[in-house]
Amino acid sequence: MPDDPNESGVPGESEFAMSDDELLAELRVALDESDPPPERLSTIAKAALTWRTIDAELAELAFDSTRDLAGVRSETMQRQVTFESADLEIELMMSDEEERRLVGQLVPARASTVVMITGDESAPERITTTADDLGRFSFDDVPTEAVGFVVLGEDGQPMLQTRPISL
């Protein structure tokens, strides 16, 4: 009988001992070789993930200072954008063009989580901040590429979503 309780006493058995992770990795390789997933599976999975936000109301662009204030002359005017849905409005203003600082306001005012989404659809980056009780929030170092916004409710589910816009 072996002295070590972990040894079974069967000669050569330790050669085949594997951790659970190693066993799962080998099984994954064997299954991928014998029955690989369809090539369109990743496309289908990504499309299914978009349905997670189907309950979020897509907000309409209600005001854009570059569009709605055409002909107004001002060197100090900051870019302002407002998106509206039936229950919520999100007002955005680029407060510092050099620092790329964006300030925002939710109307009606409410404490919420606000997510800025940047990057392409295949690998979006999500930057999260919190709106205070007055609905105020801000983002620093906003990218120059198009960004979209999602406002999450208390339950963490999207309440409002904007289309991407360059600020």
pLDDT tens digits for range 17-74: 888 899 899 988 888 888 887 777 777 776 666 555 555 667 888 888 777 555 555 5
76 with 123, same domain?
A: yes
33 with 69, same domain?
A: no
In a domain, 139, yes or no: yes
pLDDT level of residue 3 (50, 70, 90 thresholds)? low
80 with 154, same domain?
A: yes
34, 52, 70 - which closes a domain: 52
Q: Is 51 exposed, middle or buried (0-12, 13-18, 19+ CB in 10 A)?
A: exposed
60 with 140, same domain?
A: yes
- Comparison of pLDDT for 155 and 44, the residue scoring more: 155
pLDDT tens digits for range 85-127: 988 999 999 888 788 999 999 999 999 999 999 987 778 899 9
Confidence (pTM): 0.62
22 with 94, same domain?
A: no
151 with 74, same domain?
A: yes
75 with 154, same domain?
A: yes
In a domain, 142, yes or no: yes
- Can you tell me the distance from the alpha carbon of 126 to that of 117, in angstroms, rounded to the nearest whole number? 5
For the chain, the domain total comes to 2
In a domain, 47, yes or no: yes
- Comparison of pLDDT for 143 and 1, the residue scoring more: 143
In a domain, 7, yes or no: no
In a domain, 5, yes or no: no
In a domain, 17, yes or no: yes
Containing structural domain, residue 85 = 55-161
85 with 120, same domain?
A: yes
pLDDT of the residue at 6: 54
18 with 100, same domain?
A: no
24 with 74, same domain?
A: no
40 with 110, same domain?
A: no
pLDDT of the residue at 97: 79
63 with 43, same domain?
A: no
CA distance readout (Å), 57 to 28, 53, 60, 65, 127: 40, 8, 9, 23, 20
